[in-house]
Amino acid sequence: MEATYLSVREGLLRLVSRLVPPKEIEDIVQETYVRICRVKQSGPIRHPRSFLYRTARNLALDYLKRAETRSNVSMDDTNIELSALEEDTDDVYEQVRARQEFEQFCEAVRRLPLQCRRAFVLKKVYGYSQKEIANNLNISENTVEKHIALGIQRCRQYMKAKGEAGIKPVASHSARGRHG
């Protein structure tokens, strides 16, 4: 089984990289190996390659579910914070607007072409260098740069279109002339 694992390891890395953040890929593939070592003790596996790919995929999906649960807990915390600030309607309004703007930005990112979105998120969300992104996505640094520039341009266009449709970006306190 170890030989099968070693022969498909690169494929497992590619599979998992499509599902989870780069920093989680190696851990999930290693956990896949740990799982096959445990199963090996309980009996032979008929289709070891399929088993490895299915195990890696399931572990990656489990990671995503856990990450989503943490995200939902954070959103619940935000809702509690909003309730606590009801007396100061200006602050509540700004938080709601910022959240709406963030949701719109997330939608703009979701609309990017897949490879562009991957490069953009690795750079802007996870802070990877262009070289790291190029290595991770198996593309040139020049292509990474183009994807990031395209991502910025398309997100700006999307946000601008949403702003013109009546959803204005949140102004900062100083831009609005607010005095504390």
Write down the pLDDT at residue 57: 87
Among 15-24, 75-84, 88-97, 132-141, the range scoring the smallest mean pLDDT is 75-84
CATH number of 76-170: 1.10.10.10
> pLDDT for 44-53, tens place per residue?
677 778 888 8
CA distance 154 to 19: 23
Whether 130 and 144 have beta carbons less than 8 Å apart is answered as yes
Whole-structure pTM value: 0.43
Average pLDDT for 21-25:
86
Amino acid at 129: S
Q: CA–CA distance from 96 to each of 40, 82, 93, 150, 167 (Å)?
A: 52, 8, 5, 28, 12
Query: Domain residues of the chain, as ranges?
Result: 1-68, 76-170
User: Is residue 91 very low, low, confident or very high in pLDDT (cuts 50, 70, 90)?
Assistant: low
CATH of domain 1-68: 1.10.1740.10
Measured distance CA(83)–CA(104) in Å, rounded: 22
Fill in the DSSP letter of residue 47.
-
d(CA 77, CA 67): 15
User: How confident is the model over 29-64, as pLDDT tens digits?
Assistant: 888 888 777 765 556 677 778 888 888 888 888 888
